[in-house]
């Protein structure tokens, strides 16, 4: 084995531990914060993926099953896959609450999907690519398990190039399992690299309160306050170097995440 491959393997193993740690702890708060209210991004994803009632759909890195449960009434069968058992536990809970019989859950890795080639008509994922060590490999896997003529859809935060490094810096402080949020241009290049044809591209603004965001994640000791200081500085200076248009409104700090939704066709 080459030395570089060894280092990459070690890093991947360490990163998997980080993902397990963060998302085991985040599983319940994530569902409570994002799974109960209205979420217009889900409607936009459904519009872009446009599943038919006879379609089979895979939700990669499904977390607590929010996307899977949203798509289940629109498709014949949905499979949600995640590498963290605690997330799948929450997903089963949401499925039971919503009484959706046509979903199954699978424990597994995005870069080694445990499915045969061309198993699904539609393969979607949300808020996962910025956690990957190798996003190109993950997109290739999504393409592999998608039928020819089917749809591969990725929705993720996509900072502007000018603020990308600062954005990734504070996001890694907030959630050490964050690797790198890609720009829209980088996400489009991944699609080209995977041999996919871009069919539709949309932007979405995802608004959050900073304290709510911090309460649902698990920064290392002291990093929560470092993040608060970064935002206070940015707002005081009247600039947007952190990439989320931070502002004070009604006594709280609000952020707007720029989200890109890309839907490709597998030729
Ligand atoms: C921010 S959550 C998003 C959950 C869900 N997609 C949503 O948008 O509601 C990210 C999820 O990606 C999962 N994840 C990260 N890396 C993964 C990998 N390599 N394979 C499978 N799941 C992964 C985490 O366990 C977590 O549940």
CATH of the domain at 117: 3.40.50.150
CB of residue 82 inside a 6 A radius of ligand 1: yes
CB of residue 49 inside a 6 A radius of ligand 1: no
Q: Is residue 95 part of a domain?
A: yes
Query: Rounded to whole angstroms, how far apart are CA atoms 111 and 139?
Result: 8
Q: Is residue 176 part of a domain?
A: yes
Reported as a pLDDT band with limits 50, 70 and 90, residue 4 is low
Q: Is residue 245 part of a domain?
A: no
Per-residue model confidence as pLDDT tens digits over 108-139: 999 999 999 999 999 999 999 999 999 999 99
By alpha-carbon position, which residue is closest to atom 8 of ligand 1?
Answer: 126
Q: What is the DSSP string of the chain?
A: --HHHHHHHHHHHHHHHHHHHHHHHHHHHHHHHHSSS--HHHHHHHHHH---TT-EEEEET-TTTHHHHHHGGGSSEEEEEES-HHHHHHHHHHHHHHT-TTEEEEE-BTTB-SS-TT-EEEEEEES-GGG-S-HHHHHHHHHHTEEEEEEEEEEEE---GGGHHHHHHHHHHH-TT---PPPHHHHHHHHHHTT-EEEEEEEEEEEEEHHHHHHTS-PPTTHHHHHHHHHHHHHHTT--TTSS--EEETTEEEEEEEEEEEEEE--
Query: How many angstroms separate the alpha carbon of residue 250 from the centre of ligand 1?
Result: 32
For the beta carbon of residue 255, count every other beta carbon within 10 angstroms: 18
Q: Is residue 227 part of a domain?
A: no
CB of residue 88 inside a 6 A radius of ligand 1: no
Burial class (CB in 10 A: 0-12, 13-18, 19+), 200: middle
CB of residue 69 inside a 6 A radius of ligand 1: no
Minimum-distance ligand 1 atom for the alpha carbon of 20: 25
Q: What pLDDT is recorded for position 189?
A: 98
Residue among 63, 115, 140, 218 whose CB has most ligand 1 atoms within 8 A, to mutate: 63
Q: Is residue 151 part of a domain?
A: yes
Among the residue ranges 24-28, 90-94, 101-105, 114-118, the one predicted with the least confidence is 24-28
Minimum-distance ligand 1 atom for the alpha carbon of 23: 25
Residue among 12, 84, 128 whose CB has most ligand 1 atoms within 8 A, to mutate: 128
CB of residue 23 inside a 6 A radius of ligand 1: yes
How much is the pTM?
A: 0.95
- For residue 25, the enclosing domain spans 3-207+256-265
CB of residue 87 inside a 6 A radius of ligand 1: yes
Residue 5 has pLDDT above 80, yes or no: no
User: What's the domain count of the chain?
Assistant: 1
Minimum-distance ligand 1 atom for the alpha carbon of 35: 9
Query: Rounded to whole angstroms, how far apart are CA atoms 194 and 142?
Result: 9
Among the residue ranges 21-30, 84-93, 256-265, the one predicted with the least confidence is 21-30
CB of residue 24 inside a 6 A radius of ligand 1: no
Distances (CA, A) of 97 to 70, 91, 100, 175: 13, 10, 8, 29
Q: Is residue 219 part of a domain?
A: no
Q: Is residue 129 part of a domain?
A: yes
Q: Is residue 84 part of a domain?
A: yes
């Amino acid at each position: 084995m080459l030395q570089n491959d060894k280092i990459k393997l070690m890093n991947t193993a360490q990163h998997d531990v980080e993902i397990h740690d963060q998302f085991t702890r985040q599983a319940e708060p994530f569902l409570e914060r994002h799974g109960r209210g209205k979420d217009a991004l889900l409607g936009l994803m459904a519009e872009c993926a446009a599943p038919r009632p006879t379609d089979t759909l895979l939700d990669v890195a499904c977390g607590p099953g929010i996307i899977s449960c949203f798509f289940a009434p629109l498709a014949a069968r949905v499979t949600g896959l995640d590498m963290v058992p605690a997330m799948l536990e929450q997903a089963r809970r949401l499925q039971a609450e919503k009484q959706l019989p046509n979903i199954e859950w699978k424990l597994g890795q995005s870069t080694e999907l445990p499915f045969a080639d061309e198993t699904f008509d539609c393969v979607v994922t949300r808020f996962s690519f910025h956690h990957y060590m190798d996003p190109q490999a993950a997109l290739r896997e999504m393409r592999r398990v998608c039928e020819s003529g089917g749809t591969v859809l990725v929705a993720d935060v996509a900072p502007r190039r000018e603020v990308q490094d600062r954005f990734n810096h504070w996001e890694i402080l907030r959630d050490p399992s964050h690797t790198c949020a890609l720009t829209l241009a980088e996400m489009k290049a991944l699609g080209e690299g995977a041999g996919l044809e871009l069919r539709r591209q949309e932007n979405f603004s995802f608004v959050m309160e900073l304290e709510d965001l911090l309460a649902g994640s698990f920064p290392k000791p002291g990093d929560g306050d470092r993040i608060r200081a970064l935002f206070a500085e940015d707002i005081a200076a009247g600039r947007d170097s952190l990439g989320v248009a931070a502002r004070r409104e009604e006594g709280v700090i609000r952020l707007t995440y720029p989200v890109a939704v890309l839907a490709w066709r597998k030729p």
